[in-house]
Structure 1
């Protein structure tokens, strides 16, 4: 754990409260998407103090922030999931757990019954669990895994099951033992580990808990695990059920749950969140921020853009395969993939190799850029993700009157086709992984300038009327005020 600490003299009479935003694998390490949303939320509420509880995969990310931290962001509390690798423990200790404690631990990995989260938190945060690795080397842990083996995994080598469960719960236990900064409202921006921290904060500090779910975290983990090579087939269900179990914690204890579009709400209800808790608040931007975006290059070729991180969940390989078909029929077309590639360097290398194997000439990986420097010269944009929430990248394109071709994930259908609004289609939707159908729509747009302009205008009208940042910020200000109230004193030094 590491805390970046900022001391502030809070002499501003407008300060109302302190909000702890809990994020996993996002702000302030990763740009775009959820991170951009968090940054926009903080910078748009200067009267509110924020703390970031940032969960990252590796300690090597410590302090490597990709955002200039706003003045009302008091601290970044950094937690790394690989911290446990530094610890050692002796084998064979007996913890003398009670039957109910054993049942709480078994429920966490068995998916047989709901987890008693408060009881489990109390156990893991107790003095006897000061060394988490010691428990995972204990006879009690051996008993739990043996019971799991007997009841569910008789045909699986015990040693493999033992280490699989160990790798699942060790990062979780490490997070649960973390100190939770004090705040007036806790706001998790996903379920999973962030949801666990939010649930823990609510139980420890007895403060309101808010969840905003952009994409459905457990569904995204399921998709990744199904495709993952690092998980053996016999253990895929174990991992998938585990992430659904983690998500259940915040669904049950959150005071309010925010989602971005109707389809997500239906999934949350299906996963056990009570409907009366859920409210839809879409993402938003201000089109005025893009009014000076202009074309600076000659209209001598078709330029296609993708505002996207180069990571597997964005399926850049499908994008490359699609563009190979486009380039064969339209050699003057160009594709600009605009976003960081450092997050998964192995995947980036695989994408470069695929470009070379397919003999593609006109794909440009720009890395991290100012989107406004590029988007004016683009004719339209694409998105090939296998999972999304409500992509800010699409809203950015619409703000510049650029149509989109994208896969049918998350809220893309509503953005492109509308939700019974009068604005008309703003592009095309294709099935996930179907690069041939996407190529056909991309070529259709390449060949018809008037169609591009009409679809782009439809997108602009939709975002200008229905997806305003001011409306999104106003909604969250109201939620924070309702949940937290004006509980913070004034005219004193603030620390965390």
Structure 2
């Protein structure tokens, strides 16, 4: 790994800079500062196209939430800049402002489009196109007008009276301000970002909104690749968040309804998703269920497609001869120690596994720094269950060193898309036990009739079912013929459907199409494995 790069724009010399690039990657909370499946995929894509000059615009929450980079920057990354959405920045001076009523009427009309399920395709883009120029510094809807004008006050109070079901106007006022403040920062980023021949966002959300702004500003193509559905994942986060207020009294609360402010945040991120979908030229999902979810959430069906993840088969298949003849009684969860991975269910499952297989161990291979409080809770549960010698927290581990030592890959997540770790395990000869999330059922049992005929590469159980998770693991580890059949099914499935070369071929076509649109010099993209193609 290269020497750690500064995560601050205060030391720009540590980050590569350029006057332009071919593809600008818009990355929210991922590569290169956060490890995980999406970041690994970004690293894979950049290295898979060494002839493309990539730029990176990293969008994070706050500076202190990130340490040094987790990945070395490949040499074809020519430009990197870092922005934080929730840090203090130079806000305009406070002074009385009347506000432009016509501009606020345009903003109100824009918001009404989100409340209208029957709004026509293109209306959002047209409305945003008219609104964004007014958001530039010194214009009628700039940040100063949003923060301090009489027009903004009138708009917020009118919206509160019309729609808010929470009794606290103070909480409503600050929620609206906090929610919308990053929009002006993104508009400034878009106006100053170096030119690119196309933009590639790896999510909707803030990165997706930035992509929509850049598409509108430059006319260059926007490609969207969603690994998980951003709005779905934000819903999970928001349902679990403790900082969102609910000021209703015990008599006003309805257990079947979420609080107004929680719902407001959910609708905000849904709105960002619709904006990004409408602006994107191509919209990629990892598997069919997610593609259909994108369409339901507003993506134009004709622009959607599926491109599954692919793995470096030669590198991982070389690990198979390193495995012992009998699978080790080691269950390994490979991933970040965060609530969405539901590490607690894995630990609880290990209590049952150890009761039935006393030699078994549970390894947790992933960083603990993203949510240290949750990581400590996981350690406490392991100790409380008497598993301190059986459940081992290993921190980040290299896949190549880990796979030959384990008997099962275990995934206990409450939300996933198409997990690379399962494919990597299959390629290395390790079956899996996983919860029924994302495309896991497809990966374990197969998609269509031909795929399903290959057999099961493990077992799928329900979410938050530690006993069923344990029983599935014990059934595989305790039945050697069944384990070997699952191993063979996984190897064949990944070799047939989930290779890196197949994935690169799909993205090569998308990049080729985008980079050769009018206004960009023609450039042929070579196959990274077969340059003559």
Contact kept, 8 Å, 2:97 with 2:145, in 1: the verdict is: no
C-alpha spacing 1:281/1:300, structure 2 compared with 1 (3 Å): closer
Q: Which moved more, 1:131-140 or 1:168-177?
A: 131-140
Q: Which moved more, 1:298-307 or 1:419-428?
A: 298-307
Q: In 1, are the aligned partners of 2:332 and 2:364 still within 8 Å (CA)?
A: yes
Q: Is the 8 A contact 1:426 1:459 kept in 2?
A: yes
CA 1:195–1:8 in structure 2 vs 1: closer, same or farther (change >3 Å)? Answer: closer
1:401–1:460 CA contact under 8 A, matched in 2: yes
Is the Cα–Cα contact under 8 Å of residues 327 and 406 in structure 2 kept in the other structure? no
- Bigger Cα displacement from structure 2, 470-479 vs 149-158: 149-158
TM-score by length of 2: 0.85
Distance 2:19 2:214 in 1: 25
* Preserved contact between residue 103 and residue 141 of structure 2 (Cα < 8 Å): no
Q: Secondary structure at the match of 1:6?
A: coil
Deviations 1:79-99 (A, max 9, x none): 11123x244555563252233
Distance 1:164 1:8 in 2: 37
Cα gap change, 1:127/1:336 in structure 2, threshold over 3 Å: closer, same or farther?
same
What is the deviation of 1:100? 4.8
Distance 1:48 1:387 in 2: 33
CA RMSD of aligned residues (A): 2.6
Q: How does 1:6-17 map to 2 (within 5 A)?
A: 6=16
- Among 438, 444, 452, which residue is 2:483 paired with? 452
Residues 154 and 279 of structure 1: CA distance in aligned 2, closer, same or farther (over 3 Å): closer
Show the counterpart of 2:5. Answer: none
The answer to whether the Cα contact below 8 Å between 1:379 and 1:452 also exists between their aligned partners in 2 is no
The answer to whether the aligner puts 1:227 opposite 2:230 as a matched pair is no
- Per the TM alignment, residue 292 of structure 1 is displaced from its structure 2 partner at its CA by 3.0
Contact 1:106 1:144 in 2 (8 A): no
Extract unaligned runs of 5+ from structure 1. Answer: 11-16, 491-496
1:168 equivalent to 2:171? Answer: no
Structure 2 unmatched ranges of 5 or more: 1-7, 246-258, 524-533
Structure 1 residues 416 and 174, CA gap change in structure 2 (3 angstroms): same
For residue 166 of structure 1, report the CA deviation from its aligned partner: 1.6
Query: Partner residue of 1:402?
Result: 430
Whether contact under 8 Å (2:286, 2:306) holds in the other structure is yes
Q: How does 1:153-164 map to 2 (within 5 A)?
A: 153-164=164-175
**Residue 489 of structure 1: CA displacement?**
8.8
Counterpart check, 1:196 vs 2:223: no
Counting only pairs closer than 5 Å after superposition, residues 51-66 of structure 1 correspond to structure 2 as 51-60=55-64, 64-66=68-70
- For 1:65 and 1:417, the matched residues in 2 are separated by 36
For residue 369 of structure 1, report the CA deviation from its aligned partner: 1.4
Q: Equivalent residue of 1:177, what SS?
A: helix
Which residue matches 2:345? Answer: 318
Q: Does structure 2 retain, via aligned residues, the 8 Å contact 1:29–1:61?
A: no
2:376 is aligned with 1:345: no
Residue 273 of structure 2, aligned match among 215, 224, 247: 247
1:271-286 alignment, distance < 5 Å: 271-286=297-312
The 3 A distance-change label for structure 1 pair 154 and 222 is closer
Task: Count residues with an aligned counterpart.
Answer: 483
Q: Secondary structure at the match of 1:184?
A: strand
- Between the aligned partners of 1:398 and 1:56, the Cα distance in structure 2 is 33
Tell me by how many angstroms 1:129 deviates.
Answer: 7.7
**Equivalent-residue separation in structure 1 for 2:301 and 2:244 (angstroms):** 34
Corresponding residue for 1:424? 455
Match for residue 258 of structure 1 among 263, 284, 293: 284
* Post-superposition offset of 1:301: 5.4
User: In structure 2, do the counterparts of structure 1 residues 89 and 464 end up closer, same or farther at CA, with 3 Å as the change threshold?
Assistant: same
After alignment, is 230-239 or 55-64 more displaced?
55-64
Residue 118, structure 1, aligned to residue 129, structure 2: yes
Match of 2:294 in 1: 268
Query: What is the deviation of 1:429?
Result: 1.4
After superposition, give the CA deviation of every residue in 1:238-286 in whole Å (9 maximum; x if it has no partner): 1111110000011111111111101011101111111111111111013
8 Å CA contact retained: 2:368, 2:395: yes
Q: Per-residue displacement from partner, 1:363-384 (whole Å, max 9, x unpaired)?
A: 1111111111111111111111
1:214 partner SS: coil
Look up the SS of the partner of 2:284 in the other structure.
strand
Contact kept in structure 2, 1:403 and 1:455, CA below 8 Å? yes
Could you say which residue in structure 2 is the equivalent of 1:32?
Answer: 36
Shift of 1:171: 2.2
- For residue 51 of structure 2, what is the aligned residue in structure 1? 47
3-state SS in 1 of match to 2:308: coil
Other structure's SS at 1:195 match: helix
